[in-house]
Structures are given as structure tokens and as C-alpha cells.
Structure 1
């Protein structure tokens, strides 16, 4: 049996993607075959396609780590760091598969994998948010940021402040539950945060921008506050940290990477099930975006790379009209 899949045979940009016919994968010990209905598109996939990913990727390969689909009568969602998701059938570890409750769309379920789990672990694990504390979310309109705003409220934050680069993004953040929204430009950032927080520094700053944004976040902290750096979207790199200054102000900066967090006991299935249930109950609103057919994978990645998309970008893999 053959299936349609997106394959990469040489490293490069989105133009290197090709839709082809491949042999269907087979289940193995502890592995399940999912009939994929949709797959998530991420910036990490761009790095894999370009050959710049943090771990080695061997050619040829089928990209795609986030899938939603069916196993028999079950509707499931799952994550595979081995890829293979941009295909009509994909193989996942049995313990990576979680049932999708009624009322959660394919696109919402996909948004809860990398982005949702990142937001959950940032707040629960790295920041160790205490109810009543103030949280600043940089890149507040992004996939992680938009969910972090809502989860911070759900987890008991006393005040949630969104930081974003445009008035439209700040408006969206307020709609999602932020108490205040400020410009994310590093110059004057600390003053704007304190003003939005009643004249006080922030307890937690979540940052995916890197560079000057990390330094600005540190300046905005209250005593015993912490900046959690989980990305470098500006490509400025992470700034040198003066440990003496951290000690003087009793503040901290920490880094975060999702993959090791998911390997922790109760680090994957339990938080994902919680995120799905919150979405089913209407307490969490994942921001979904453009949908592309499998045959239009090149266009999907071109739009993503050019920042022409908002919300969770998905490939519609199989089913009517796909």
C-alpha cells in the first residue's frame, strides 16, 4: 500500500519539499499507525528542512512532528520528534497518543502540542508560578504567548501583562484575558511594565525574543522575580548575564527547551490532556490560522517563513476536500 507524503531529499528552503508516493509505514512494538487528518506546521520544521536543526536529520525524510487523526474509532493527537507527520499515515509511540475530546477541532488540538505544552511547562515548571504573582508575556500574540496569557490566568496569576509589537497584537492579547498590554520595544520596556503593574516590578517574564528583550525583562523584575528565556526570535543571541547584579537584586534568569521537559514523569500526557479538557470546556482558546492542503506544503512553509501567517498553521492531509 502506498500513501501520499511530503518528502525532503535535499536541504534548503520550502522549495525543496516534494509531494510523492511512499510505502505506508507499519506499526511496531509499542508503536501505532495513525490515519492523519491534519498536521501542524512549525518554525522548527523550517530548520529541519534547511539542515540547521539542533539534532542531526538524515536525508531523505518526511517532516512533521504534530499530527491529529484516527486509530480505529479513536480520534487522537500526538507528537513525534522523529517526524513523519506530513503523510496520510504516520507512526507514533503508543504513549505519545492522547484522545481528543468532543468539541476540540483538529486545528485546536495541534496548537496544544508544541505551543500549548511549552506554555504549560514555562509556567508550571520553569517559572513555578505562585498564585497571585504577576506575569509578563512577551510575543503575546504568538502561538505560545497567546496560550500563556490564558494559562497564567487559569493558574492563578494576580496580574497578566502582555507585551507585543503592534496595537493589533496588543488588542488580541487583551481579548484573551491580559489585564494590560504594552509595547515590547526594549527601550523603555521596564518602565512600561512597572506602570502596567501598579508601579511594581514583575514576578515572572516569559521571553522568546532573546537579545535586548532578556536584558529589558531583567530590568523589569521585582525582587525574587525570574525571566524565563525560551527562544531567540530576534537572532541577537542571549546577552551575557552579570551574576553579581542578579544576586544584588535577588532575581534570576533561566532557559527552557521543551523536549527534555516532555521526558519528565507526567511531563507529556497529563498536561496535554489538561490542555485539551480546558479547550473542550471553553476555558482555553487556541489561536488557529491558515489551512493548506498537503499538495500546498511549499506555500505553507513559504508563508510561515515570510511571517505572513498568524495562529496555528496546519496541513489538511486526508478526508473530504483534502
Structure 2
């Protein structure tokens, strides 16, 4: 089969199309003919060799697939060991969820890592309550666009989106944000407070890191929660003095989806609900560009250059027999 393989660590240039043997499913596993694979920021960390938990060479990137099992089921699945950027992938039976016909491949892929992240950020780490004010940083991204919609569905009192361009801010408002502000850390606290009528906010979802993390901490109300779930700026997260948290009774929580999904109730149930909300039109996952499998390098380049919005997808086209 054809697959994208990484034989050395580095940037997008290390991704190459090659022929490899078909994977063999073992007990409790399914073989999936992949129709589309999702592209994530985490994939770029894996190719760099900086991903949490390490990565062994050579490997096939990709942890999200949609396709058909040998029994004909159309499923969306996570492949924690990688292998998604390929014509076929092996997935755990418990990590495969049936996809309704009304949900397109790209939308289903958007609900795997990004959708489940948004779900657990709001239900778990942030513990968003009806009527609370939530700020969604990177609101035009894969997680951000879904977090805005889910916060509205969960009854948030006011949703403030932060994004880097007018077009991205307009997108967030069209998806349910009450207003949107420039996400540049310079002046960010003043803009957010002004957008909330001068009042601090209850929840901030933050994935940029660096100065953006520090700026987000300033806008929290007493008992407010800042949840950090990424470092897309690659500038790191500044240290936090616990006394500064205690002074305002605010909390900082970290989030990574992978350990959360070790809980038996964290995957199939939430994903099934997200798929149902999408099939009914309550959620509109934003699907970005679709690239042929062989163009994985270009997909990574565009993602890192922030030239995209929504979910990036690699499509698998098979030769006609």
C-alpha cells in the first residue's frame, strides 16, 4: 500500500510517499480502508521528534482516520500508534465509532482530536456552567471553532472569540461567538475586558502559549479558570506564581487529550454525541483544505504557516480496478 513515512526527524521535508506492507490486524483490532486522514499540529511535533512520549523512527504519521472496515462499517477512529497517513490502517475495535451517513469524512475527522478536545475542555477541565463567560483563543482553529459552538450549546452566557485576523474573527462570530477581539498579546487584556463590558471572565481556553498565556491569565475573574492545552507559538508557557493565583482565587489547568482517553467513558460516548450534533446541524465542523495523500508535505507546510482554517484532511484516492 501507499503511505507517508518519516525516516528522519525534521520539518515537512522529511515526509515522503512510499510503498509499505499492509498492516495486519491482531486480536481486538480492525483493518480500515482509509478514505481520509486528519492532519494535526501534533503530527508536526512527531515529525520534529519533540512530541510528548517520544517517537521511534521510521513511522507513518497520522492518528485520525475515516474509512470502511472489511465488514463494511463506515467508522471514524483514532490510531494512537500512528499509521493514519496511509491507504490502510489498523485501529482498536473500541476506538472505532460508526459515522452517520449525514456526516462527511472531513467533519467526522474534525470531531476526533479537535472535537473531543473541545468537549473535554468545556465539560471537564473548565467545568463550564450555564451563564458563564468564556474566551476562546485561536477561535478560528480546529478546536476553537468547535469550542465556540459547544459553549453556545452548553449555555454560556457570553462567548468572546480571539483570533489573529478580521476574517477569522468574523468566522468565529458566524459560529456563535457574541463578539471577537484581536488575539495579539499586546493589549489583549484591555480588549477582552472591554468586550465583556469591563468585567473579567470566567473561563479562558488557551493554546498559543508564550505571551498569550500570560495575557490570558490577567482577564480571569475570581474563581476563574484558564485551561492551557497547547503551545502553537512554540515559545513555552511562562511559570506561574501560586500566590498570584491565590490572590484572585483563580486556577490554571493543563489539558492533553491522550491521558483523558484512558478513561473508559471518555471516547465513544462523547464522540457519538458530537457526531449526532453534527448530523442534526447543531454543530458545523469547519473543514479546511483537502490534500491528496501524496501532498502531506504541503499540508504540513500550510498548517505551520497558518495559511489554513478548519480541519486539514488528506484524501486517499485508489486506482480504479
TM-score range relative to shorter protein: over 0.9
Q: Do the aligned partners of residues 13 and 238 (structure 1) sit closer, same or farther apart at CA in structure 2, a change above 3 Å counting?
A: closer
Distance 1:89 1:195, change over 3 A: same
- Aligned-partner SS, 1:23: coil
Could you give the per-residue CA deviations for residues 108-146 of structure 1, whole angstroms, max 9, x where no partner exists?
001111111111111001001111111000111111111
Give yes or no for the alignment of 1:97 onto 2:101.
no
Question: Residue 318 of structure 1 aligns with which residue?
Answer: 317
Q: Which residue of 2 aligns with 1:26?
A: 24
Gaps of 5+ in 1: none
How much does 1:320 deviate? 7.2
Superposed CA offset, 1:55-111 (max 9, x none): 222222111110000012211000011001111110000000000012110000011
Supply the distance in 1 between the matched residues of 2:303 and 2:187 (Cα, whole angstroms): 30
Within-5 A mapping of 1:9-88: 9-71=7-69, 72-88=71-87
The equivalent of 1:114 in structure 2 is 113
Name 1:262's counterpart in structure 2: 261
What TM-score, normalized to structure 2?
0.95
Q: TM-score, with normalisation over the residues of structure 1? A: 0.95
SS at 2:20's partner residue?
strand
SS of 1:285 mapped into structure 2: coil
Match of 1:215 in 2: 214
What's the offset of the Cα at 1:199? Answer: 2.6
The answer as to whether partners of 1:36 and 1:318 remain within 8 angstroms in 2 is no
Per-residue CA distance 1:250-284 (angstroms, 9 max, x = gap): 11111111111111231111111111111101111
Classify 1:185/1:8 alpha carbon distance in 2 versus 1 (closer, same or farther; 3 Å). closer
| Mean CA deviation greater in 191-200 or 120-129 | 191-200
Q: Which residue of 1 aligns with 2:190?
A: 191
Do residues 298 (structure 1) and 297 (structure 2) align?
A: yes
Distance 1:218 1:173 in 2: 22
Q: How many residues align?
A: 319
Q: Give me the whole-angstrom Cα distance separating, in 1, the residues matched to 2:41 and 2:128.
A: 27
Whether contact under 8 Å (2:6, 2:47) holds in the other structure is yes
- Where in structure 2 are there 5+ consecutive unaligned residues? none
1:319, distance to aligned residue in structure 2 (A): 4.7
> Could you report, residue by residue, the CA deviation over 1:14-66 in whole angstroms, capped at 9, with x for unpaired residues?
22222222221122110110110010111211121222222222222111110
Q: Let me know the Cα RMSD of the aligned residues.
A: 1.4
